A and B are shown apart, each in its own frame.
Chain A
Amino acid sequence: MKNLQEQEKQELLPAERSVFTAPLQRRSFLQFAGAGAATIALVAAGCKKDRNDPMVPGGVTLNFKDDFGVLNYAYALEQLEAAFYIQVASNPPSGFSPAEKQYFQDIQFHEIAHREFFKKALGTAAIGSLEVDFSSINFTDRTSVLGAAMAFEDLGVGAYNGAGVRLTTDAYLVAAGKIVSVEARHAAYVRDLISNGTFASSPQVDANGLDKALTPDVVLAAAGKYIKTKITVTNL
């Protein structure tokens, strides 16, 4: 996963450099139109190299060129979370209390609702289903399940916080905001189950009282160990 992403970055680098090292020919245009247009020239140049296929054989592509890319990124994470909680809720660890079983079932349905929401909102632009790999999680052990749940929830919160600024459509930005606070409620609940009072502990929440905001490359690298499907990232 990591190697694939690094390979992807390396593939992208020459293209970016060629744009950045080509300003001489474009200087007169830049002087005329200003830096705002320069950005567009850069982006437009980048667009020619877009791999728009949402369904690369054997994998999926998250193309961050527009809101659909961001929504597909969220869709990928929600697929992962839903798959995890479905497995927990359908066969919870013996150490779970009745209340914990109930709340993990609740969370399962929240994540399924999120997943299906993105699938419907994306329509034909939606990526395919991801194949998950939960071999590192011991689903019979309460501690292992709670640890994984915390990792998923904190990662989800950081992912949404970091991706919000990329969204350009009001309705999608608001929808992401509506979801992230629910993920934060989950995160706090799971953290308190692991150790009461750690709902917003450092370093997840820093000295300024700020939660994490993570970039997609960081999030996908962390999520990679749970995902078998190859994820290609473009236009990040």
Chain B
Amino acid sequence: MNIVNILEEIEKVDGEIYERLNPRRSAMKDFYNVGKKVALAAMPLALGSMFTKAYGQSTPTAVVDVLNFALTLEYLEYHFYNHSLLAAPGLLTAGTPAHGAITTIRDHELAHVNLLKGALGSAARPALAYSDFDFTAKGTFPTVYSDYKTFLAVAQAFEDTGVRAYKGQATVLKGMPVLTTALQIHSVEARHASHIRQMRAAPAGGGVPIKPWISLGAGGGANDSGVPQVDPVYKGEDLETQAGVTITGIATGVTKAAAVESFDEPLAKADVLTIAGLFIK
């Protein structure tokens, strides 16, 4: 943890960091020197305050990119569920727990769309409509809106992808207030994923042998969904080592499956966009 390194790293992304922190660059250099002397342990708090000061008024490009990326995914999820409730006759029956749960999730996704749009303001990406999507993924899931089990399988893929996508962007937002908001969305997506998985495990959902948390797939693979078409959604979910610590066998009873279940993995933006791209016309 070195303040000088951190500032240099930021400068690579944001060449104006010093000017943002203080328009008088000479003053900033003095801070830089102070930073070398002050106990490194004191730096994190100081940095948090510095960023609030630096980014209080305008949002850096990297953050705008993350929020627009999230907005794209939220549009995808919102339209996917909204169509299932409004224009997929026979798929979900009003008054059933399934209809209620999908309504709850649809409403959250819409709230996320609105929240992100509001945060981005004029920097928000152009709105996406239902007609911009193809939820059959070019024929991979032709019965997505007529077969309840297929619908839930795709829903699970979207929710688990959403969890991974937000997690993958956490470091870009590190130390910023917007990180907290992103985390608050992230855990809601995980709650959705848990419930959709329970719906699939229920008899009506096909009795798929699947847990609320991501486990090892059949044969020990990373994809536990039972749907090979969504392998990219679970790429790397079978990780056994966290921050240099081997989790498998860390205590009695912590098998590889338990180790995999205990930690959800992030997914890189490019991988998420590839998955989303299958459903965007």
Contacts and interface: CB of A to CB of B under 8 A. Distances in A.
B181 A210 contact: yes
Interface residues of A, number: 71
A174 B171 contact: yes
Contacts, number: 262
Interface string B226-265: 0000000000000000111101001101110011011111
B264 A43 contact: no
A37 B34 contact: yes
Nearest to B39: A47
Given A185-B194, A199-B195, A209-B115, A117 B250 contact: yes
Contact of A178 (B167, B253, B258): B167
A218 interface: no
Contacts of B153: none
Interface residues of B, number: 83
B41 A66 contact: yes
B259 A161 contact: no
B263 A179 contact: yes
Nearest to B246: A120
Interface string A31-44: 01111110110011
B221 to A, nearest CB: 19
Contact of B177 (A37, A43, A165, A235): A165
A196 B245 CA distance: 36
A166 B46 CA distance: 11
- Determine the main DSSP class of A at the interface with B: helix
Contact of B194 (A46, A189, A210, A213): A189
Interface of B is mostly: helix
Nearest to B162: A181
A117 B247 contact: yes
Interface in B81-103: 97, 100-101
Contact of B183 (A36, A200, A213): A213
A180 interface: yes
A178 to B, nearest CB: 4
Contact of B192 (A33, A114, A179, A199): A199
B175 A165 contact: yes
A208 B111 contact: yes
B104 A197 contact: yes
A182 B263 contact: yes
Contacts of B242: 117, 175, 178
